[in-house]
Amino acid sequence: MPGVGLRARLALFFVAITVVPLTVAVVGLQLQIREESREGAADELRLVELSASALVEAERRRAGDLADDLLAPDTTGTAGGTGLAAALAAADTDAIQAWLEGVLPDLENSRADLVVVAGPDGALLGSVASEPEFAPGVDVRPAPAAIAEAVRTRVPPAGVLLETREIRAGGNEGAVLGYLISGLWADRQLLDLLRVPVGTAFLAGEEVLAADGGTIASLPQGPLPDQGDIGPVTVDGGDALAAVIPLGSAAGGDVGGSPSSLLLWSPLPVSPYGPGLVLALLAIVVIVSGSVGWILAGGVVAPVRRAADVARAVAGGDLQQRLAPSGGRELADLATALNTMAAVLSDRLAELQRSKEELRGSLSRLGQTLSSSLDLNRTLAVMVETVMITLSADRAVLMLLTPERDALYVKVGRGIGSPVRRLALGEGLAGWVARTGTPVRLPDDRSAAPPPAEGELAGPHQLAVPLLGRGQAIGVLSLVRDEGGLPFTQDDLETISSFGTQASVAIENVMLHQEARRLSVTDPLTGLWNFRYFQIQADRELESASRSSRPLSLVILDIDKFKHVNDTQGHQVGDEVLIEVARRIRDSTRVPDVVARYGGEEFVVLLPGTGLDGAVATAERIRLAVYGDPVVVDLPSDGDAVGPLQVSCSGGVASFPDHGRTVAGLLRTADAAMYLAKTRGRNRVFAAGSAGIVAPGETGASRSQA
């Protein structure tokens, strides 16, 4: 090569052993990354599959809960299904239909799309149902008779998820009189409730019942995977993964598995290197390598071949290969560069593997907690710690909305140092995220979102996502990386947003469980504690009073002439009077006092730490509050508005230990004093074994012997 100096030859030599092998290595690594991306997409779809299955089952359970509520005991102790059982025993279909329309006047706002009553032989006896939102042209809505028939055949029709409850004569031990079936349509409305971040559709065999976005134009093409598997499909001409989830059996019911299924699909990431580009790159590599090898024959050939062999080994995944420096300083520098590249790639792959193992362990711990724990504090703590590990965050805080939905308060904080203050809805970054439902990544979204408020968690790199339940925010999760940390990426934001969706479901499940526990000890009409809860608290307080010699009293109150209100104005007006009287009693007592509905129009108040005189004063305060202002009722009676009702009550007071050493004894004594107040003219308070406060307007002493 006349006229070409050593420097030019060394430059060509560097191109031969560096550019060409490195190009091959990059292509090989890109193919490897593409395969791992496919595996990652499959893992994400499996997580969405688990989440969607849990959401469908949660909605089905809510429909079953509605059936249980319809058959549950009401506040007077009679079975809610007594009227239904009597109608079933008499085979009175008109009464059954009237019962259904009476307990479910507005099915659109209930927890189920349809409720059907079937006889023991599967005959249809009554039904109410909303209109399903199936795809245009799809008409698979089963008739009520087919749904009732499913009780006998054990095979529910397509397009519906069912829950079945037996109706027995005389309680759970009697003969089966029929079945109460509640269910949900597998339609667009149920898809909207799922809110999973992938494409969704309900199928009945190969027929599409409802699709994400209301159209079936973009559904996956080609053979769908078997139920329970994940397989490749084509969506809009691109590669995607799909999963088919069988809707399964109705939990707690007798009807077998549903022929319907849920289809999920997610497009695969598009590789930047297509087959044409790879082939072109390989062709260039071959041409350049051949030309340079032919030109630089001789002593340069052997070191180049050794370097090429190492580069090909690295491209094939053998990152432990190293090139011994030889052939002069330039070749030694090249060998060092190749060795450094292999070492860095090896470290990065090891780091990715460690991160994958940490994520798998975190998700395993999170899954165990979400599936087994009903402790809200523990569940939220595990959620926050898991997402901190997953995204390598330095600090985190989870804030929940108050019951009034007007402010955010800190529920779980990690690494936050000084306390994070309470934020009004819309205040600061977290308040804005809760109000708008928009996730934020700082500093990238600084122009779209407000800065953190004073006293709020803040940092140079921050993520804040809403926790959404039933279409509205229930809280905000914020993560911070301090100075020196890498900024959060868009992938990080998508990861925590997906995590927040699943976390919201877990939080709602725990809150629903806590609400169910609360409802088991409260009176559904007045909102006061029920007598079961009162007995538990009274036993505890009596034991404490006996052990510490503290005073303890109780008051029994009865609304005067309440039967006259029911007889003349109707039971709806009577219920409104009970609700208002309960509110006035509650407002007239202290926080430690226990106010419960005793039964019918009677109430009982437990007064820990209060002696007889204080209890009499409290009872008199309640009496005056009840009698003070007439009760205004908005309900119509016989077509005319009900005027204000003057309501009064009579009370009896008993104190431990003078009037009884057991809860039952105190109740009997207070009840006797209350009865005495009734016989002495009503609208007054009497104390057992002492003087009772008389009603205003009486002459003489302010107390009389009870």
Burial class of residue 447, CB neighbours in 10 A (0-12, 13-18, 19+): exposed
Burial class of residue 599, CB neighbours in 10 A (0-12, 13-18, 19+): middle
- Report the C-alpha gap between 546 and 551 in whole angstroms: 9
pLDDT at 576 over 60: yes
Instruction: Tell me which residue range forms the domain holding 566.
Output: 531-705
Q: Is 69 inside any structural domain?
A: yes
Please indicate, yes or no, whether residues 496 and 535 belong to a single structural domain of this protein: no
Mean residue pLDDT of the chain comes to: 80
Spatial contact of 115 and 62, defined as CB atoms under 8 Å apart: no
Show the tokens assigned to 539.
């036993």
Spatial contact of 563 and 684, defined as CB atoms under 8 Å apart: no
The sign of the torsion formed by the CA atoms of 544, 546, 551, 556 equals positive
Mean pLDDT of all residues in 282-289: 66
Please indicate, yes or no, whether residues 178 and 291 belong to a single structural domain of this protein: yes
Taking phi over 0 as left and psi of -120 to 50 as alpha, with beta for the rest, 185 belongs to beta
Please indicate, yes or no, whether residues 475 and 606 belong to a single structural domain of this protein: no
Show the tokens assigned to 247.
């809707």
Answer with the one of 285, 303, 318 that is the final residue of a domain. 318
β-bridge mates for residue 168, sequence order:
176
Q: Is 22 inside any structural domain?
A: yes
Digit-coded pLDDT (tens) for 493-533: 888 887 777 777 767 666 666 556 666 778 889 989 999 99
- Which residue type occupies 702? S
Number of folded domains that form the chain: 3
Angle at 196 (CA atoms; ends 194, 197), nearest 5 degrees: 160
User: CA nearest 616: which of 690, 679, 701?
Assistant: 690
Ramachandran angles phi, psi of 66, nearest 5° = -60, -45
- Report the C-alpha gap between 399 and 411 in whole angstroms: 5
The CA-atom distances, in angstroms, between 34 and each of 30, 194, 268, 272, 312 are: 6, 30, 10, 9, 19
Spatial contact of 582 and 527, defined as CB atoms under 8 Å apart: yes
Q: Is 526 inside any structural domain?
A: no
Residue 118 DSSP SS3: strand
Q: Is 366 inside any structural domain?
A: no
Please indicate, yes or no, whether residues 13 and 125 belong to a single structural domain of this protein: yes
pLDDT at 338 over 80: no
- Which residue type occupies 612? L
Please indicate, yes or no, whether residues 557 and 491 belong to a single structural domain of this protein: no
Neighbours of 258 (CB within 10 A): 24
Please indicate, yes or no, whether residues 143 and 252 belong to a single structural domain of this protein: yes
Show the tokens assigned to 76.
């007077």
Residue with tokens 């000084």: 418
The confidence score (pLDDT) of residue 543 equals: 94
Show the tokens assigned to 682.
């009503």
β-bridge mates for residue 148, sequence order:
none
The confidence score (pLDDT) of residue 516 equals: 60
Q: Is 262 inside any structural domain?
A: yes
Spatial contact of 68 and 202, defined as CB atoms under 8 Å apart: no
Show the tokens assigned to 223.
């053979």
Please indicate, yes or no, whether residues 666 and 580 belong to a single structural domain of this protein: yes
The confidence score (pLDDT) of residue 585 equals: 95
β-bridge mates for residue 246, sequence order:
261
Mean pLDDT of all residues in 141-155: 87
Please indicate, yes or no, whether residues 471 and 574 belong to a single structural domain of this protein: no
pTM (global) more than 0.85: no
Burial class of residue 697, CB neighbours in 10 A (0-12, 13-18, 19+): exposed
Q: Using pLDDT thresholds of 50, 70 and 90, give the confidence band for residue 550.
A: very high
Spatial contact of 238 and 228, defined as CB atoms under 8 Å apart: no
Spatial contact of 575 and 525, defined as CB atoms under 8 Å apart: yes
- Report the C-alpha gap between 674 and 651 in whole angstroms: 5
Q: Is 94 inside any structural domain?
A: yes
- DSSP state, residue 73: B
Q: Using pLDDT thresholds of 50, 70 and 90, give the confidence band for residue 701.
A: very low
- Report the C-alpha gap between 30 and 159 in whole angstroms: 44
Across 20-41, b (16+ Cβ under 10 Å) vs e yields bbbbbbebbeeeeeeeeebeeb
Residue 291: alpha-carbon gap to chain centroid: 65
The confidence score (pLDDT) of residue 82 equals: 66
Please indicate, yes or no, whether residues 213 and 96 belong to a single structural domain of this protein: yes
Ramachandran angles phi, psi of 442, nearest 5° = -105, 140
Please indicate, yes or no, whether residues 388 and 504 belong to a single structural domain of this protein: yes
Q: Is 345 inside any structural domain?
A: no
Please indicate, yes or no, whether residues 622 and 697 belong to a single structural domain of this protein: yes
Ramachandran angles phi, psi of 594, nearest 5° = -110, 115
Please indicate, yes or no, whether residues 171 and 297 belong to a single structural domain of this protein: yes
Q: Is 80 inside any structural domain?
A: yes
The confidence score (pLDDT) of residue 662 equals: 94
The confidence score (pLDDT) of residue 698 equals: 32
Q: What's 470's domain CATH number? A: 3.30.450.40
Q: What's 644's domain CATH number? A: 3.30.70.270
The confidence score (pLDDT) of residue 71 equals: 83
Query: Catalytic residues, which ones?
Result: 601
